[in-house]
Structure 1
């Protein structure tokens, strides 16, 4: 049998949760498609290897290689399309056979509609699959308490210029 103090604590907890829900408003679903413009070479790379095993080349296929990224994210496939955000974070080749990369990316919105808001992306990206899926684990600003998923698909690749475009379809629930 619960004591009066336990009952009071439970009532206070439920009241706090109800007030928090009222302050946050209705749960919303947002979907968007954006394009990561990724340069891994040339004079102004937006993604670079920063460390790895002491022997051999650092690459996405080499276990233990860590990359840092600050990719422009655009609303369209073309690099001259309007920038809506920056993809800032890191990738770690986390599978011994190089098949998975662990993704830790913040999508930092710079456009007028979502400027100042962020989405936090994390998870294992299966590199050899055409479409890779990772989790959206958090958000700020207009995406407070976001949760959901994002898919990544390389839709353009030019090995000679070390340039690729990654389409990302994002579906989130947020307040």
Structure 2
């Protein structure tokens, strides 16, 4: 008897969900949207030193591994890095990058894996952001990071960011990075 009641209850739940889904369905054809291409150019200020750093270590391995550097292997950093329209300290802030990066190289080449949301707070992209999830071989002169999503103006974004180190202090880890981003979005 219990099995029949259980089956009946499950059948009612499935029927209710099926009926509810039919009435809650909204017909929005995403494929009618026109794809756009946007190019962005900005600078990211990643500051580990001083009284108010924009990147702080939040985790580390319990052993010492790899080369000595400002960002040793296995260390994880939380970031709230300002994005600016130029490479100077007094350049206009246009947004911030929030997320994490992991120092992922055991060798001499500093490599990070970055998971960050680049949010824009001024201009025509105010309230929009792009999501970057990619390997970042910091010591390479030119490198490319993957843009895997976005919101606001950059909804359903995909693309890439060419990154160049404008300034790097190898002692304390402070860096200014130039980003040239190409996005495909709707």
What is the TM-score normalised by the length of structure 2? 0.76
1:158 Cα deviation after fit = 4.4
Give the structure 2 partner of residue 35 of structure 1.
43
Residues 71-90 of structure 1 show CA distances to partners (whole Å, capped at 9, x for unaligned) of 11011111211111101111
- The gaps in structure 2 that reach 5 residues or longer are 1-25
Equivalent in the alignment of 1:90: 100
- The structure where strand makes up a greater share of residues is 1
Match of 1:142 among 153, 161, 170: 153
Counterpart CA distance in 2 for 1:165 and 1:18 is 42
| 1:3-54 CA-partner distances (Å, limit 9, x unpaired) | xxxxxxxxxxxxx9992222xx211100111001221110010011111112
Equivalent-residue separation in structure 1 for 2:137 and 2:171 (angstroms): 24
Q: Is the 8 A contact 2:70 2:171 kept in 1?
A: no
Q: Kindly state the Cα deviation for residue 145 of structure 1 after the two structures are TM-superposed.
A: 0.6
Contact 1:69 1:87 in 2 (8 A): yes
1:17 and 1:146, CA in 2 relative to 1: closer, same or farther beyond 3 A?
Answer: farther
CA distance in 2, matches of 1:142, 1:135: 18
Change over 3 Å in CA distance of 1:54–1:160 after alignment to 2: closer
Closer, same or farther: CA 102–159 of 1 in aligned 2, 3 Å: closer
Matched, 1:79 2:114: no
Taking the aligned partners of 2:51 and 2:100, their CA distance within structure 1 comes to 20
Computed over aligned residues only, the root mean square deviation of the Cα atoms, in angstroms, reads 2.3
Q: Describe the shift of the 1:53–1:59 C-alpha distance in structure 2 as closer, same or farther (beyond 3 A).
A: farther
Equivalent positions of 1:44-55 (< 5 A) are: 44-55=52-63
Segments ≥4 residues shifted beyond 4 Å:
158-162
Among candidates 141, 144, 151, match of residue 130 of structure 1: 141
The answer for the alignment partner of 1:168 in structure 2 is 179
Question: If you compute each CA radius of gyration, which structure gives the higher value, 1 or 2?
Answer: 2
After superposing the two structures, state which structure 1 stretch, 35-44 or 91-100, moved more. Answer: 91-100
Q: Deviations over 1:48-74 (max 9, x none)?
A: 1111112347842x2211011101101
Matching residue within 92, 97, 117 for 1:106: 117
Q: Which runs of 5+ in 1 are unaligned?
A: 1-15
Q: What's the CA shift for 1:156?
A: 1.9
